[in-house]
Structure 1
Amino acid sequence: MLDQLVLIVFKTDCVFFIRILTFVVPEIHSFTYNFIFMKKYIILFLLLPLWAFSQKTVSKEEKDVQKFQKELNAEYLNPKETPLRGDNFKNFKGHPFFPFDAKYRVTAKFVKSKDTKPFELPTSSGKTKTYQEYGKATFMLDNKPYTVTLYQSLALIKQDKYKDYLFLPFRDATNEKETYGGGKYMDLKIPKGNTIVLDFNQSYHPFCAYNAYDYNCPVVPEENKLPVEIRAGVMYEDIYHH
C-alpha cells in the first residue's frame, strides 16, 4: 500500500514538473534568442560611429584628381598611345603619384599678355616648336607669391578641341629627386575671368621622360622654374633614367 502511495506521489510530481518545464523552457528560449538578437544590435550600434569615422569623405577636387590619374594610367597602358617601349611597357602597372594635397590646388590671379609674338621654344631633341605667350598666373604657396607663364601651341590651337588649350611647363625643387629632371607639364583651359585654378595634383611628365628616342618635348623656360617643392602629381621612377 505504501509503495503504491509513493508511486502516485511520484507520478503527480513528475506531471507537475513537466508542466512547469512546458511553460519555462519556451520562455528561456525566447529570452536567450532576444538577448542574442539585442546583443548583435548593441554591438552594431556601438561600431557604427567607428565605421562612419573611418570612411573618408572624398571631395570633388580629389575625385577630379583620381579621374586624371586613372586616365593617365590608361593612356600608358594603351599600346596605341603609350610612349613606353619594350620591357618598360610590358612591366608597367601604373604611375606612382604623390598623395592628393589640396595645398597644391591654388586659385591664381590671371593676367592676359598683350602684344605677344610667336617664338620658337627649344625641345629636348634640339629642335623647336612654335608657341605664343598667352598670360601669367600669380599664386600663393606657403604664404609666398609665385608667377608662371602660360603658353599656347600654335600647332594645337588649329584643332577645334585644343583651341582653348593652355600649356604650363614648370620645374620645381623636386626635379631630379622625386620627379623628372626636365620638369613637368600641366594642361589648362583659357579662363573666363581674372582667375585660373592651377591644380598641381594633375601635373604630369612629358613623354620624353619615358622615351627620349621617339619624342622631343618642350624645355621648361627659365621664367617657370619655381624655387619651391611641388610635391604633387606624378612621381618619377629610376628605371626610366637614360
Structure 2
Amino acid sequence: MKPEDVDTWNRALLRFREQKDEFYKTGDDSPLPHGDRATFDGLKYFEPDPGLLFEAKLQRYQSTDSVIMTTSKGTRQLFNKVGYFEFTAGGQPSRVQAYQSAEREDPHLFIPFRDATSGKESYGAARYIDLEVQHDDQYLLDFNYAYNPYCAYSDDFVCPLPPHENWLSVPIRAGEMKFH
C-alpha cells in the first residue's frame, strides 16, 4: 500500500473502532451487561497492522459441504463451507475456510478462527471476520477487523466455535484483544 493509502485505511479503521465502542457503551443491542456500560472505556485492540490486510481471492469449492459447528453453549449450528483464502502471516503460509449459514439467508462470508494469541492476548474461544459476498470472489481479508463474538462479553449469547481447520498456528496480532 502507498503511504497515503495506509493513512486513509488507518483513519477508516480508527473511526470504525470509535463507532463500535460507542455502540457497546450506549447501544440498545450492546452485548455488554447494563451494569458494565457505565465504566466501559472501550474495547482493547491490537495496534493497526496493514501487514495483516490481504487482497485475496476466494478459492471456491466445486460443491458446498455442510459443516456443523459446536457453539459456546454446546448446541450446534449448520454452515456451508464455500471456499478458502490463502495468505502469508508471520512468514508462514496460512489458510482459513469461509462459511455461510445454512440455516438462514446471509449475504456475508463468515470466518471464525483461533490463532497463537487465543486465550493469551485475544479471546480464547474465537474471533470472527465477516465479509460481504463479492461476485468476483476478490476480497480484502483484513484481520484488523477481527472481532470477539458476543459470548466474550456475556454468557447470554450463543457463539459458533471455529472448526480445527481454522486454528492458525501463527499469531494474528490484529483486531480485538481479550476483553478482561
Contact between 2:47 and 2:174, CA under 8 Å: does it hold in 1? yes
Q: How many residues align?
A: 177
1:169 to 95, 108, 112: 112
Higher relative contact order (CA 8 A, sep 6+): 2
2:50 to 92, 97, 102: 102
Unmatched segments (≥5 aa) in structure 2: none
- Higher-strand-fraction structure: 2
In the alignment, the residues of structure 2 paired with residue 81 and residue 135 of structure 1 have an alpha-carbon distance, to the nearest angstrom, of 31
Counterpart in 1 of 2:160? 218
Counterpart in 1 of 2:29? 81
| Residue pairs, 1:80-229, within 5 angstroms | 80-157=28-105, 163-212=106-155, 214-229=156-171
Contact between 1:132 and 1:154, CA under 8 Å: does it hold in 2? yes
Aligned-residue RMSD, C-alpha? 1.9
In the alignment, the residues of structure 2 paired with residue 190 and residue 221 of structure 1 have an alpha-carbon distance, to the nearest angstrom, of 21
Contact between 1:138 and 1:145, CA under 8 Å: does it hold in 2? yes
TM-score in terms of structure 2 length: 0.89
In the alignment, the residues of structure 2 paired with residue 178 and residue 228 of structure 1 have an alpha-carbon distance, to the nearest angstrom, of 13
Identity %: 33
Deviation digits for residues 157-208 of structure 1, max 9, x if unmatched? 2xxxxx4211010001111111111120011022333532110101110000
SS of residue matched to 2:24: helix
In the alignment, the residues of structure 2 paired with residue 110 and residue 217 of structure 1 have an alpha-carbon distance, to the nearest angstrom, of 24
Contact between 1:108 and 1:140, CA under 8 Å: does it hold in 2? no
In the alignment, the residues of structure 2 paired with residue 87 and residue 80 of structure 1 have an alpha-carbon distance, to the nearest angstrom, of 13
SS of residue matched to 2:136: coil
Shift of 1:116: 1.6
Question: Are the structure 2 counterparts of residues 143 and 109 from structure 1 closer, same or farther at C-alpha, using a change threshold of 3 Å?
Answer: farther
SS of residue matched to 2:63: coil
Shift of 1:156: 4.3
Unmatched segments (≥5 aa) in structure 1: 1-55, 158-162
In the alignment, the residues of structure 2 paired with residue 143 and residue 79 of structure 1 have an alpha-carbon distance, to the nearest angstrom, of 40
**Which of the two has higher C-alpha Rg?**
1
